[in-house]
């Protein structure tokens, strides 16, 4: 199975870790992600205001590209993303089009295209759940991540707005949990799965971002997690890199590694720990993994 | 050629001052069909009426026009008088030359011209009036009450008190409905068991009241005064007549089940009564959980039962009853809470709904009235009450206000405070709706005396942290977010129509709104009637209501029923639609447009009984005479008696210039 | 039927309403948005108050307020609104108006250098909604 | 004869036919009387149970019979004695008005209103306004001309026997 | 058309229908006629060409007794299906009682057009099409039991625009007096032959209002007053029902533009009642036996 893959601005650069591990896992599970040629940025946030057509042009181009590429190369008729933000933007672009044909026309005339709003956007997690199946994943696990208490963190963009994104129940999601279980982790249920990490306010007001991120880590810790798994580079960055700052305001706080779900996945699927890059982790997870006897 | 008599009334000087009544009387002599005219001082006076009778008799009048006041004023008077003189009352018409002429047109010339027109107009109409007989229908002097909650019981008691037989059909195992679940009731804080149980017992002892519990109305036909209902009495697996209610079966039954009466908290048995004061106090085997029905073994209840009244093979029983009137009192449900993930109901044990709190607060409830939170039985020190959960919420719930939540939340804060003196209650509200006798005072008491902290705002999320529930809300008055660490959260859930209310409405042929609440016949003037004559509404099945309102409406419905059943026969104005079956081609526009479902399809059969033609048929008992069908009918095959097309045309033509 | 004459609306408010495409009259001030907003604590005018000021046409106070610059578009407000409003859209409209008028925007110079180096690009891209191009 | 009337303005008074429902507008008109409000005398009321009873052709008949204007009035939405009668008639009027307009009827001569039994004042205002407008318009001659013409035919036929 | 004929034979053969209502070559050049096939050899006469203008569904109504013969098969164009839908909606027909032999159709000829053989095979030029075909969006029937002719992609059209509706808009644009004269000139010609109602599949009353004299709804003599009343009454009764088969307009000897009246009504129903179009569904209640609480009442004070 070959699926057109849209990396977006971050995955080829600062979130390489996330991507490499995903690619490894895909191979291990018998499918591959084909990066679409000359893709452009999705805009990383859908315009909220009424008549801002431009904001849709970017994502639409991507969606069109994926469809063409898919047909040209005979790939699956979908588009897979790893980045929660891209996923959110692309999916909601389609939603907006299907709700408001006029919008679609405007964009089409803008891009001189005839897009129908029908490119099937899926997240890597969905491929694992729906195309591969968590049972199959479980079978393919060579190293069970026994005893590792993982808090699955969705953040905003996989779950909101529910009717537009609809990956999973916004308050009782199961997909992330399902995957982690199949890897043998001990899944920790915690209240802040869907709360915000502070997002891009990190750039203008680091303090604010840090506070948001802290509430998430705090909740996870309270629930007894050793580590938080994320799907989104920005969440990973905020939760991980701001812990020093958090300590200032919350002295008693204990450092917690923030790890990409694909890093766990590839570990479980037998990727040599030495080959797994933890560049983006300022809190090094290895000590913990050693302690748990996973390294 | 008809023989019309025309009487022009002076009404003292009320008419004669601005209308030349003599001239009117004089000119009407020349109208075709008119054989007698006269102007008279006071037609409505008894000499006036006497004269009317006299002339009818003397001149063999076959129709009469009284040019006087508004028909709304005296039409009945003159029709009765004419009837007394042996004239069919529908051969009398009035020309409104007072309210709509003499009083509004000061110019005598104009007034007279108009009076001439109006009188002429009615002469032309009355000549085409048909002799109509009032519709007479027999009345079955027995009532049916659907629902055995406070509404149904109250209605039944009031009807029975008048010596009229009444049947209560309750789908549950016992009477009592939701009210018997409540701990104490606002605004007086008297325990609902104490005020409800006596009513239940009274109903069960009243010789005029027959109670079918564990039963449902399956079908209804007939019309006002003459309904027939098919009732299914579900098999209880217990012979009701023989059971002494000793309770040994329940005691010995090995199969524990959740008790819905305790909102799934307390336990019950596979054979049980929901609560000790149940009426009737006869247990029922829940065949879905009973071991015997699963495995074919056990039968312990049968062994221990003294009067031997367990009957595992008992079948559902169908009872057909004839009744003259019906009170629908099926009550309400509360909205399922699974859709409110942000409040964590179902996920966190200590997030409960209002009814559960009632059971917790009730002395007979699953905690014997002690404040113990479900998760660990600890006494909650801080309780947050969230109002409008599902109410006034277009995105996840319903847009209407459930009306009772403001009051019962206030009540619950009091009950809580009275049991946990050091405890603190917070209430998140949007508006306090306390319109009602002593209601506002009651809420203030909760705030001022029982120290409830009222916060104007909604809650966005509830989540667990340690053994606390973190409640993230807002105070919109100060415009600040508010976070409260609570031990227990109580959700004031929206009141919704009963599940399946729409189906029942269809069975009964009454209308219901988009929320499946039953529709009253007129929002202001006929609040307990339905559009179906003879069927009345009581309680929350019509719209969210509290106990006092429900009881009031129940008594109102009862009085409507009694008014109806007090008559030997029902007489109705014969102003109803009639179908010319020869011409009807059954397009059923009339059937579709009729607001009362008075029109049905009828098959016309030949001698051997094969249907040769389908036509529309009007049920005169149900038809209210609006004439929608008449106007809708393309071939004018259905017409409204008293307002037939040729009568209207005659009026129009009479006004030709 | 037809309400005769409409009272003249405040220009700024009109502009924001149009930009955001939100009908603020729908808001009945339940405050659920403020309750859920991760930034509300920090805001001078949390979402519900912004909606209120829009309704009351307190345009001067709105112009002064800075909460829109604390908003991080997590969309919690809109996704939980019982009246299907979207305060985030109003916040965005207020921001855009600021930037069009040049009354305020985040200043690129102030961007922490190491952030630009290490942070995921997506942060910058989405963050730039607060910067004047 | 209508011709003479046209020539002789003083004699001509508009002929307005009002189709009203028994429960609301008729009551409102009565109330105008009981509260002694005066209004123009050119209106002639035809009482029906409900506006839903009014057949579109009634309006046409009225014009054929020389009406200069027509008023149709019933209960406000939601107040209908028969619950939905006025909703149905509202739809019927929507279509029929359109048809009349399309076929060249002078729509300034057809008026619709909701007047409750309490709205005596509204009744008075509406009636006065309708007759005011009708007076401005003068007699409705389109149908009268046809009527004249038909009379002539009939005359001719009569002569030929 | 083999397939149509063979299917027809099949139906007759296994007696699954009593009769097949279809078209056969007419006696006059360029005309076809309604044809009723009872036997297999009858079926060989069945044809379908752009000359098959008639709306045969009238034979399904109570005006004729075909339905009494048992199950009936009918050759129907997309536009004819609309009539069938209305008849079902109005309880005049049960879907199960009729086998629809749907024919896909790119338009039929206008009333005065005679085609020569050559043209018959070529596609029909717009200017020779019946006006109803200009705005047709059911070239392939929406409902059928068997479909014949290679499925034609139904045109996507903006409802109530173009074709007849441009004519309608022209009249709408006239001044009141103009309109009155326009129609009076037409109605003057009406001779009350009632061909319009005879040919209309939706004028199926056993006793027509024109036959009622208590009261005299429609004056019997043919003068403008009675003619106006009749044509208005008919347009009103077809409002929300007429499916624009155009038969009345086609057969009117006085050439009164009845399509104009009926399509004005159709357009009104579309504009005023949530885009309602008669004949596009059987479930929904027609506009005049239903209502919305918030229907427009701008014209009511």
Residue the block writes with tokens 């306090």: B432
Whether pLDDT at B379 is above 80: yes
B169-180 exposure pattern, b = at least 16 Cβ within 10 A, e = fewer? bbbbbbbbbbbb
Chain A neighbors of C130, CB-CB under 8 A: 200, 204
Residues B26-66 have pLDDT tens digits of: 999 999 999 999 999 999 999 999 999 999 999 999 999 99
Strand ranges for B17-104 from DSSP E? 34-40, 63-68, 92-96
* C-alpha distances in Å from residue D103, one per residue of D97, E177, E195, E253, E256: 10, 10, 21, 20, 13
pLDDT per position as a tens digit, B391-449: 999 999 999 999 999 999 999 999 999 999 999 999 999 999 999 999 999 999 999 99
Q: Which residue of B has its CA nearest to C47?
A: B479
The Cα–Cα gap between B154 and B558 comes to: 8
Tens of pLDDT along B76-87? 999 999 999 999
- d(CA D98, CA D92) in angstroms, rounded, equals 10
**Is C49 part of the contact surface with chain B (CB cutoff 8 Å)?**
yes
Any CB–CB contact under 8 A between C25 and chain B?
no
Between CA D144 and CA B176 the distance in angstroms is 72
- Is any Cβ of chain C less than 8 angstroms from the Cβ of B399? no
Q: How far is E249 from chain D (nearest CA, A)?
A: 17
- Using CA atoms, how far apart are residues B152 and B557, in angstroms rounded to an integer? 10
Contact yes or no for D88 and E288 at CB 8 A: yes
How many Cα neighbours within 13 Å face the side chain of D92? 26
- Dihedral Cα E19, E25, E26, E31, nearest 10 deg: 120
Which of chain E's residues have a Cβ under 8 Å away from the Cβ of D88?
288-289, 291
The shortest CB-CB distance from D91 to any of E229, E291, E301 is to E291
Chains that touch B (3 or more CB pairs under 8 A): A, C, D, E
Locate B386 and state its tokens. Answer: 């969230």
**Contact check, Cβ <8 Å, B587/E215:** no
Cis peptide bond upstream of E52, omega within 30: no
Residue A70 has a pLDDT of 85
Both tokens of E214, joined, read 């208590």
Residue pLDDT, tens place only, E42-99:
999 999 988 999 999 999 999 999 998 899 999 999 999 999 999 999 999 999 999 9
Report the distance separating Cα B426 and Cα B473, nearest Å: 11
Other CB atoms within 10 Å distance of the CB of residue E157:
13
* pTM (two decimals): 0.71
Q: Choose from C25, C26, C32 for mutation: most chain B CBs within 10 A.
A: C32
Chain D residues in contact with E257 by the CB 8 A cut-off are none
Residues 29-48 of C with CB under 8 A from E: none
- Which subunits sit against A, judged by 3+ Cβ pairs under 8 A? B, C
Span E200-219, average pLDDT: 92
Residue A11 confidence (pLDDT): 87
**Residue spans of alpha helices (H) in C73-120:** 76-80, 87-101, 113-118
Here the ipTM equals 0.66
The predicted model gives C67-77 an average pLDDT of 91
In this structure, the number of other CB atoms found within 10 A of the CB of residue A54 comes to 11
Residues of A in contact with C111 (CB under 8 A): 203
Q: pLDDT for B610-651, tens place per residue?
A: 888 999 999 988 888 999 999 999 999 999 999 999 999 999
- The whole-number pLDDT of residue C4 equals 41
What does the mean pLDDT of chain A come to? 91
- A→C contacts (Cβ < 8 Å), by residue, are 8-10, 13-15, 41, 43-45, 47-51, 83, 85-86, 156, 160-162, 170, 195-196, 198-206, 208-209, 212, 215, 233-234, 236-237, 241
User: Cα separation of B604 and B602, whole Å?
Assistant: 6
Contact between B628 and D85 under an 8 Å Cβ cutoff? The reply is: yes
Burial of E298 (0-12, 13-18, 19+ CB in 10 A): exposed
Give chain A positions within 8 Å (CB) of B341.
169-172
Lowest mean pLDDT of A101-110, B293-302, B516-525, C102-111, name the range.
Answer: C102-111
| Cα–Cα nearest to B153, from B278, B322, B273, B327 | B327
Distances E252 to B291, E71, E170 between C-alpha atoms, Å: 79, 32, 22
Please choose, from the candidates E54, E43, E39, E49, the residue with its C-alpha nearest in 3D space to the C-alpha of residue E3. Answer: E43
Using alpha carbons, select from B51, B126, B41, B59 the residue that is nearest to residue B84.
Answer: B51
pLDDT score of D1 = 39
Q: B577 pairs with which residues across the strands?
A: B640
Q: What is the pLDDT along chain D (161 residues), one digit of tens a residue?
A: 344 444 444 578 999 999 999 999 999 999 999 999 999 999 999 999 999 999 999 999 999 999 999 999 999 987 788 888 999 999 999 999 999 999 999 999 999 999 998 899 999 999 999 999 999 999 999 998 899 988 888 777 766 65
Pairing label, strands D69-74, D110-114 = parallel
């Amino acid at each position: 199975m070959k699926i057109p893959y849209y990396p977006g601005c971050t995955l080829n650069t600062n979130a390489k870790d996330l991507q490499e591990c995903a690619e490894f896992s895909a191979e291990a599970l018998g499918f591959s992600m084909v990066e679409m040629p000359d893709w452009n940025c999705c805009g990383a946030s859908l315009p909220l205001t009424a008549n801002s057509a431009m904001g849709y042009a970017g994502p639409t181009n991507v969606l069109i590209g994926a469809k063409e590429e898919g047909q040209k190369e005979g790939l699956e008729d979908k588009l897979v993303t790893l980045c929660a933000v891209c996923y959110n933007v692309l999916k909601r672009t389609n939603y907006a089009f299907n709700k408001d044909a006029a919008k679609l026309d405007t964009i089409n005339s803008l891009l001189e295209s005839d897009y129908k709003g029908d490119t099937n956007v899926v997240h890597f997690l969905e491929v694992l759940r729906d195309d591969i199946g968590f049972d199959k994943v479980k079978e393919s696990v060579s190293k069970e991540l026994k005893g590792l208490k993982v808090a699955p963190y969705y953040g905003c963009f996989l779950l909101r707005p529910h009717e537009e994104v609809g990956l999973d129940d916004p308050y009782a999601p199961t997909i992330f949990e399902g995957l982690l279980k199949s890897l043998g982790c001990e899944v920790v249920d915690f209240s802040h799965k869907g709360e915000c990490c502070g997002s891009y306010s990190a750039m203008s007001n680091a303090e604010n971002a840090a506070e948001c991120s802290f509430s998430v880590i705090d909740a996870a810790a309270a629930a007894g997690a050793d580590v938080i798994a994320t799907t989104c580079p920005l969440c990973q960055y905020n939760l991980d890199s701001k812990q020093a700052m958090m300590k200032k305001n919350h002295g008693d706080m204990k450092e917690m590694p923030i790890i990409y779900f694909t890093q766990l996945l590839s570990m479980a699927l037998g990727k040599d720990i030495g080959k797994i890059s933890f560049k983006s982790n300022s809190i090094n997870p290895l000590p913990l993994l050693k302690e748990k006897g996973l390294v | 050629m008809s023989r019309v008599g025309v009487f022009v009334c002076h009404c003292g000087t009320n008419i004669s001052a601005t209308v030349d009544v003599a001239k009117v009387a004089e000119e009407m002599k020349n109208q075709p069909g008119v054989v007698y005219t006269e102007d008279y001082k006071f037609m409505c006076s008894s000499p006036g009426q006497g004269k009317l009778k006299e002339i009818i008799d003397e001149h063999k009048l076959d129709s009469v026009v009284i040019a006087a006041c508004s028909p709304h004023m005296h039409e009945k008077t003159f029709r009765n008088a004419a009837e007394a003189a042996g004239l069919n009352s529908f051969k009398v018409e009035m020309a409104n030359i007072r309210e709509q002429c003499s009083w509004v047109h000061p110019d005598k010339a104009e007034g007279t011209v108009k009076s001439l027109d109006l009188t002429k107009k009615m002469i032309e109409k009355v000549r085409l009036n048909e002799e109509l007989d009032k519709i007479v229908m027999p009345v079955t002097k027995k009532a049916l009450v659907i629902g055995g909650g406070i509404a149904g019981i109250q209605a039944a008691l009031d009807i029975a008190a008048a010596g009229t037989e009444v049947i209560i059909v309750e789908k549950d195992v016992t009477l009592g409905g939701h009210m018997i679940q409540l701990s104490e009731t606002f605004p007086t804080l008297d325990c609902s068991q104490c005020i409800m149980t006596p009513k239940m017992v009274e109903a069960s002892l009243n010789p005029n009241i027959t109670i079918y519990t564990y039963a449902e109305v399956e079908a209804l036909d007939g019309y006002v005064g003459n309904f027939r209902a098919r009732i299914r009495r579900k098999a209880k697996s217990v012979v009701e007549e023989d059971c002494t209610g000793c309770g040994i079966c329940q005691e010995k039954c090995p199969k524990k089940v959740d008790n819905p009466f305790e909102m799934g908290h307390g336990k019950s048995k596979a054979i049980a009564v929901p609560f000790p004061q149940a009426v009737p106090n006869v247990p029922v085997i829940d065949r879905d959980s009973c071991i015997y029905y699963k495995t074919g073994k056990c039968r312990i209840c049968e062994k221990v039962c003294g009067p031997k009244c367990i009957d595992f093979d008992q079948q559902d029983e169908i009872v057909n009853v004839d009744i003259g009137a019906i009170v629908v009192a099926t009550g309400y449900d509360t909205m399922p809470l699974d859709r409110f993930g942000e409040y964590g109901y179902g996920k966190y044990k200590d997030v409960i709904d209002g009814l559960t709190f009632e059971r917790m607060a009730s002395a007979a409830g699953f905690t014997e009235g002690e404040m113990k939170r479900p998760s660990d039985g600890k006494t909650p020190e801080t309780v947050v009450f969230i109002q409008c959960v599902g109410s006034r919420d277009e995105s996840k719930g319903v847009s209407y206000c459930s009306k009772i939540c403001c009051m019962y939340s206030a009540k619950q804060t009091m009950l809580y405070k009275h049991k946990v003196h050091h405890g603190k209650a917070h209430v998140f509200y949007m508006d306090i709706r306390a319109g009602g006798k002593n209601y506002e005072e009651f809420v203030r008491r909760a705030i001022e005396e029982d120290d409830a902290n009222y916060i104007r705002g909604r809650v966005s999320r509830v989540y667990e942290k340690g053994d606390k529930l973190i409640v993230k809300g807002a105070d919109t008055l100060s415009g600040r977010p508010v976070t409260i660490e609570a031990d227990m959260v109580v959700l004031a859930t929206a009141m919704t129509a009963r599940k399946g209310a729409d189906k029942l409405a269809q069975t009964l042929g009454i209308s219901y709104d988009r929320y499946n609440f039953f529709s009253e016949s007129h929002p202001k003037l006929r609040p307990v009637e339905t559009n179906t004559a003879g069927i009345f509404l009581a309680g929350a099945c019509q719209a969210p209501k509290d106990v006092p309102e429900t009881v009031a409406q129940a008594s109102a419905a009862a009085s409507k029923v009694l008014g109806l059943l007090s008559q030997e026969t029902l007489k109705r104005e014969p102003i109803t639609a009639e179908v010319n079956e020869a011409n009807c081609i059954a397009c059923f526009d009339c059937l579709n447009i009729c607001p009362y479902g008075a029109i049905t399809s009828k098959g016309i059969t030949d001698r051997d009984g094969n249907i040769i033609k389908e036509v529309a048929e009007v049920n005169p008992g149900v038809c209210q005479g609006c004439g929608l069908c008449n106007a809708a009918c393309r071939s004018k095959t259905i017409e409204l008696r008293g307002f037939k097309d040729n009568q209207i045309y005659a009026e129009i033509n009479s006004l030709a210039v | 039927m037809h309400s005769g004459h409409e009272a003249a609306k405040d220009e700024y408010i009109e502009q924001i309403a149009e930009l955001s495409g939100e009908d603020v009259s729908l808001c009945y001030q339940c405050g659920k948005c403020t309750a859920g907003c991760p930034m509300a604590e920090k805001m001078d005018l949390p979402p519900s108050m912004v909606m209120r000021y829009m309704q009351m046409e307190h345009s001067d106070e709105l112009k002064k307020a800075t909460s829109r610059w604390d908003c991080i578009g997590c969309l919690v407000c809109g996704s939980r609104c019982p009246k299907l409003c979207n305060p985030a859209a109003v916040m965005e409209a207020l921001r855009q108006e600021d930037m069009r008028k040049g009354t305020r925007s985040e200043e690129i110079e102030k961007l922490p250098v190491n952030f630009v180096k290490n942070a995921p690009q997506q942060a910058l891209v989405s963050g730039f909604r607060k910067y004047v191009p | 004869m209508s011709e003479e009337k046209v020539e002789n303005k003083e004699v001509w008074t508009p002929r307005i036919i009002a189709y009203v429902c028994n429960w609301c507008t008729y009551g409102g008109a009565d109330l105008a009387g009981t509260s002694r409000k005066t209004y123009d005398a050119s209106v002639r009321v035809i009482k029906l149970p409900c506006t839903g009873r009014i057949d579109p052709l009634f309006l046409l008949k009225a014009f054929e019979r020389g009406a200069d204007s027509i008023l149709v009035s019933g209960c406000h939405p939601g107040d209908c004695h028969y619950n939905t009668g006025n909703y149905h008639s509202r739809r019927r009027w929507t279509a029929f008005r359109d048809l009349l307009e399309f076929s060249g009827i002078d729509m300034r001569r057809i008026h619709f209103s909701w007047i409750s039994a309490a709205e005596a004042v509204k009744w008075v205002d509406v009636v006065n306004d309708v007759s005011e407008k009708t007076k401005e318009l003068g007699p409705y001659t389109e149908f009268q001309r046809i009527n004249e013409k038909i009379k002539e035919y009939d005359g001719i036929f009569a002569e030929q026997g | 058309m083999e397939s149509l004929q063979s299917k027809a034979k099949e139906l007759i053969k296994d007696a699954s229908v009593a009769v097949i209502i279809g078209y056969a070559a007419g006696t006059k050049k360029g005309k076809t006629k309604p044809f009723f096939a009872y036997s297999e050899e009858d079926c060989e006469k069945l044809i379908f060409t752009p000359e098959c203008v008639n709306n045969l569904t009238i034979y399904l109504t109570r005006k004729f007794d075909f339905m009494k013969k048992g199950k009936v098969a009918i050759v129907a164009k997309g536009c004819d299906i609309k009539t069938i839908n209305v008849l079902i909606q109005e309880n005049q027909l049960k879907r199960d009682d009729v086998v629809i032999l749907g024919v896909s159709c790119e338009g039929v000829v206008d009333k005065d057009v005679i085609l020569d053989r050559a043209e018959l095979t070529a596609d029909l030029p717009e200017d020779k099409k019946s006006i109803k075909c200009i705005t047709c969006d059911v070239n392939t029937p929406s409902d059928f039991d068997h479909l014949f002719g290679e499925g034609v992609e139904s045109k996507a059209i903006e409802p109530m625009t173009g074709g007849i509706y441009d004519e309608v808009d022209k009249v709408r644009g006239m001044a009141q007096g103009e309109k009155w004269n326009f129609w009076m000139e037409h109605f003057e010609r009406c001779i009350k032959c009632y061909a319009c109602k005879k040919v209309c599949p939706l004028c199926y009353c056993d006793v027509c209002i024109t036959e009622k004299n208590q009261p005299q709804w429609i004056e019997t003599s043919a003068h403008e007053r009675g003619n106006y009343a009749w044509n208005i009454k008919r347009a009103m009764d077809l409002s929300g029902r007429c499916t624009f088969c155009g038969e009345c307009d086609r057969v009117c000897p006085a050439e009164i533009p009845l399509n104009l009246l009926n399509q004005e009504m159709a357009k009104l129903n579309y504009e005023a009642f949530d885009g309602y179009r008669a004949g596009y569904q059987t479930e929904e209640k027609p506009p005049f036996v239903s209502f919305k609480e918030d229907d427009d009442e701008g014209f009511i004070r």
